[in-house]
Amino acid sequence: MLDNPVEEFVIDTYKLQGLRAKLVKTLREKGIQDEGVLTAVGKVPRHSFVESAFAEQAYDDRPLPIGDGQTISQPYTVARQSELLELKPGMKVLEIGTGSGYQAAILCEMGCKVFSIERIRSLHVKSQRILTDLGYKPRLKWGDGSPGWATYDPYDRILVTAASPSVPDTLKKQLAINGILVIPVGDLKIQVMMKITRKSQEEFIQQRLNEFQFVPMIGKHGWKEEQL
Ligand code: SAH
């Protein structure tokens, strides 16, 4: 094995396009209604974000390994989090947990200005390359995203794609007025999706939604590595 194997570029065949159209249908049947989200899922080649051996499985509605013990979220989870964000083109969106880069691509495809942070360097580098190859231009950063990214705040939307033990105050503070934060909060096994809307400087509305399972957010406002 080479240290740095050059990944195989998998062409977007009719077969993969067909599987992708089927995935959109499945997401619709599972209750996703946001047409913008469904259109984006129909366009972004999810197979480009996984190992080439998994190209066809990329269109099953399930998470897949992306290396370093991390996963690309299940398509339903990506679609549901995106739908909860009530996205409109031109919005500034911060994502914590770039992972494969797939969710960032969905946000770009929906016309948002995307900022995304990943703590594992190899994933950061890999996602940057895939997103650039596909023509998406999010601003990516390597580091602990749990304190947010104050350089570019406020954000219209903030999306956390890793499990958090609580809602970090620093993320709430980086929301614009009428901004929405979507974050899975719980323990290491199971989390409740929380949707937090900033009504004014001091006033926030909190909604608790369904249960999900995410890999942990590790960092200043997440878990410490020795707690895992
Ligand atoms: N949105 C991703 C899903 C990634 S899984 C996708 O579309 O593929 C969650 C990711 O969050 C993992 O890659 C993990 O390394 C990362 N992560 C965990 N804690 C983090 C932190 N404090 N800051 C930034 N990224 C973090």
Question: Separation of 14 CA from ligand 1 center, angstroms?
Answer: 31
Q: What is the pLDDT of residues 143-152, one digit of tens each?
A: 999 999 999 9
- Catalytic site includes residue 73: yes
- Confidence (pTM): 0.96
Catalytic member of 48, 52, 73, 100: 73
Quick one: pLDDT band at residue 1, thresholds 50, 70, 90?
A: very low
Beta carbon of 163 within 6 Å of any ligand 1 atom? no
| Ligand 1 pocket check for 72: Cβ under 6 Å | yes
How many A from CA of 200 to the centre of ligand 1?
29
What is the pLDDT at residue 8?
63
For residue 138 and ligand 1, the question of a CB distance below 6 A is answered with: no
CA distance 100 to 97: 9
For the stretch 70-124, pLDDT in tens is 999 999 999 999 999 999 999 999 999 999 999 999 999 999 999 999 999 999 9
Name the residue with the closest Cα to ligand 1, atom 16: 97
Long-range Cβ pairs for the range 118-122 (8 Å, 24+): 118/142, 118/145, 119/143, 119/144, 119/145, 119/218, 119/219, 120/68, 120/70, 122/67, 122/68
Question: Strands 155-160 and 92-96: what pairing?
Answer: parallel
Report all structural domains of the chain as residue ranges with CATH numbers, in order of start: 5-227 (3.40.50.150)
Confidence of residue 7 (pLDDT cuts 50, 70, 90): low
pLDDT for res 54: 93
Ligand 1 atom with the shortest distance to the CA of 100: 8
- What phi, psi does 136 have (nearest 5°)? -90, 145
Residues 6 or more apart whose Cβ sits within 8 Å of residue 137: 108, 131
CA distances from 198 to 161, 162, 227 (A): 19, 21, 31
